[in-house]
Structure 1
Amino acid sequence: MQQFDNNEHPHRRYNPLTGEWVLVSPHRAKRPWQGQNETPLHDHRPEYDPLCYLCPGNERSNGVMNKKYTDVYVFDNDFPALLQEEINYKAESNSLFQFKPERGINRVICFSPRHDLTLPEMEVTAIEKVVQEWKRQYQDLGSRDFINYVQIFENKGAVMGCSNPHPHGQIWAQSSLPTQVEKTQASLQKYYKEHNTSLLADYLTAELEKKERLVTENSHFAVVVPFWATWPYETLIVSKRHFGNIVQMTDEESKAFAEIIKRITVRYDNLFNTSFPYSSGIHQSPTDGQEHPEWHFHMHFYPPLLRSATVKKFMVGYEMMGEAQRDISPEKSAEILRNLPEVHYKQTV
């Protein structure tokens, strides 16, 4: 009988944040760099686009004019997924058809007035302004009595459903805990009650000792490819200090957070010399007025690119019918990301 090798043999890995499993099949991608390396099409965009509804001073679809903003700009989403109005409703008597109205507020945050930039191409000082605005939005929206969770996220690239290339993200604040957040909270609470410590603090300590899945770090944050990663180059930013939400960051931590965002996103762009698509999002404590010592601030990056700028991996087939699956091991993808330069490829041409 062969001795198990996690870089050779198929196996399942447990995700302690959600209680789910992922199937890892590393033998299918022993040489992830072999084969398709198409030259990506470079997206040359102007600093200002008169037809872009997110550029400064331009008119949006509802007739509202954007301010002639010079750094970060936030406005209520013109096509919100959630509405603020309270609705009367009668619950369905059949438990198989449960529903309830959901209240919330959706906002758009433009990271920069420049149409041609993305986070990895922005200066750290400019990204820090985004972080400060995230703080203000979390505090403002979370203070409303009907808001119990504030989800900050970014969809980058058309392949991830982004309808406009102007650098921007979204903030969805709502009455209920979203499903993934609810799963995470249950896991964090269970671990905290059993160990009287943060699950992610203990996890990060172990990862920093092993270093095999560590991509980069600074004094306050570390980027790892999670042991349970599903997406090919999925990463997780975890704060080294245990705190629950972005408002609890010190000024020094805010700067370090901006820096670590730039460091991982530059690596992403450098991986295939293209503007790397991803969905990213911050997970932090609810805004329900309760104490949440179990929560530990972290940020997920879920990118779909696998072997080149055009070869993608989404959750299909077995992943939709069975469970999540990946070929390249988390350890291998961490090694590849770790060895990439921190200078953006456009600056080396």
Structure 2
Amino acid sequence: MKKGMLKAAVLSVGTVALVSAPAKAVPVIKIDGSSTVYPITEGVAEEFQNAKRGKVRVTVGISGTGGGFKKFCRGETDISNASRPILKKEMEKCKENGIEYIELPVAYDGLAVVVNPENNWANCMTVQQLREVWKPESQGKTFKWSDLNPKWPNEPIKLCGAGSDSGTFDYFTEAIVGKAKASRGDYTASEDDNVLVNFVSRDRYALCYFGLAYVVENKGKVKPVAIKNPKTGKCVLPSEKTVKSGEYQPLSRPLFIYVNAKKAKERPELKEFVEFYLKIAPEIAKEVGYIPLPEKAYEMALERFRKFETGTVFGGHPEVGLTIEELLTRELKK
């Protein structure tokens, strides 16, 4: 055999050996869902992967809360990020597919109404003004800022907000319009909050809504509007302090992760990740602009997870104005 042929043969044998003895596959934890919860989960995933030194991989997608639940209830993901509780139809779909879930609150968030930084007139808005603009009956109607207040510019309002697959959409419509998913549909919509930030930053007459964390992250690009508290009549800007105190109403809400109970029992790396998440969540939540829960709330959530207590404390619909302590002490519904 010629020298070149011999070398090729050796290389060929070496290649076969490599193919026949592959490296051990790295386990993957699959997460998808809310873009609002994404920064927290992404931060936790990064820290966890660093701690595991490549022994576990975590992927985090953004399909919106509704899109995430569709994948989760089909068994395609291990964890679902959610900026609102699981809905009745999603509960039924999970049950149909034999998916049991553990509902875990991970942070608190203020949902912000925002305008362009050049907007120097809409410093405070009422729930009634927002409802008038966003209610389904307003479909097709072009509102001018002066329609809401005669002192404001006689210029059309350019609307943008969360897409219908987003938990932010569900919560906003529940809190402002009075019914989840009840909204006009003729506005610039996206499940990705970064798209909405760019929309507002480019248009002086824009009016939009999305999670407070994206306002903090994009300071200078967008400007939050104070909301008149329906009970006190006081105009309150969204901030960690006002969300935590309960002053900022009705747009304060808990954020969740939903864990596939069966997979958590069977896969040590998934169980370890969720426990790691609940321990590090307060630190990460604060880093990315959210409000950590009270320490007791994380302890209760960790205990619920370790006992594999499945179900939801909700009745299959969003609720407005409840505290985390109230949610954690409620009885779980399967």
Instruction: Give TM class, smaller chain.
Output: under 0.3
TM-score if structure 1 supplies the norm length? Answer: 0.23
Q: Which has the higher contact order (CA 8 A, sep 6+)?
A: 2
TM-score (norm 2): 0.23
User: Who wins on radius of gyration, i.e. which is larger?
Assistant: 2
